[in-house]
Amino acid sequence: MQNLEGKTAVVTGAASGMGFAFAEAFAGVGMNVLLADIEEDSLKPAAAHIEAAGGSVLAVPTDVSDEASMLHLCNAAREAYGGVHLVCLNAGVAGGGGPMELITTNSWKWTLGVNLYGIVHGIQAFVPMMKAQNEGHIVITASVAGLTSYPNMGPYNVSKHAAVTIAETLYAELVEQDSAVGVTCLCPGIVATRIGESERNRPKELTDDEPAHPIIDDANIESFRSMFESAKPPAEVAELVLAAVLEKRFWVQTDGAFRDSIRARNRSIEDDTAPPAIGTILDAYV
């Protein structure tokens, strides 16, 4: 899409972090924006901020892990603006960490429910409309964790590898169908967001008696927090995404820190050698 003014964008996970930055950027080029998030208390002020800046915005509380909730979001967009032209399936959680055998079923269900099924439900809800109008763009937020396999991040890695292949498969299907709908796969490194505080949104029914193991252990937690505080601002990622949509570009990576890790993994596949990812995901920035 070359001209976004007057068109409509839907962003999940839009109350904070990258999602909010996406919504701000889209509103800034004249788009109507629907903000979707499970955190109602944060969603309202986020919408008010964009509206105060002159944006046309609608806030819709949404649980992306629930198919009916995503269909409600789609219907709200249709009723408010008549259609949707840009969908950012961005909502995500860090999920349970630690050795694979210690990660509980609840942690798997929660992480995959948001990070994987949030994308699946978004595609089911919005792609038919976009294909019918033969116009639009889908942005799927994956991660460098979808291109590497660092230890102690099992559920998150699985969900992000799934996000990458969903984006690739959807792209291939749309090309095969000669559709004008585009796809972008966003694979950010560390960005200054609150994803490290994801536990605040874990549903009670998926909460364990014992606290979940963090993705980063106690020995590295201060470095992890410091890294996040000095990481790339979400607004910079939003500008990269906006450019990719306008250029109809598939891949977006936010920095070069993981290039060597990604190349090493690809070489191990080509050469039938053992996978290379060891240490922590922070090592790429050392």
Catalytic sites, residue numbers: 156
CB–CB of 57/51 below 8 Å? yes
CB–CB of 248/136 below 8 Å? no
CB–CB of 238/90 below 8 Å? no
Report the C-alpha dihedral over residues 114, 120, 125, 126, rounded to 10 degrees.
100
CB–CB of 152/94 below 8 Å? no
Q: Is 212 left (phi over 0), alpha (psi -120 to 50) or beta?
A: beta
CA distances from 117 to 13, 73, 125, 144 (A): 14, 15, 12, 19
- Burial, 206: exposed, middle or buried (Cβ in 10 Å; 0-12, 13-18, 19+)? middle
116: closest CA among 169, 159, 170? 159
To the nearest 5 percent, what fractions of the chain are helix, strand and coil?
55, 15, 35
Spatial separation of the C-alpha atoms in residues 7 and 21, rounded to whole Å: 18
The string of DSSP codes covering 65-101 is TSHHHHHHHHHHHHHHHS--SEEEE--------S-GG
Spatial separation of the C-alpha atoms in residues 260 and 72, rounded to whole Å: 42
SS3 assignment, position 184: strand
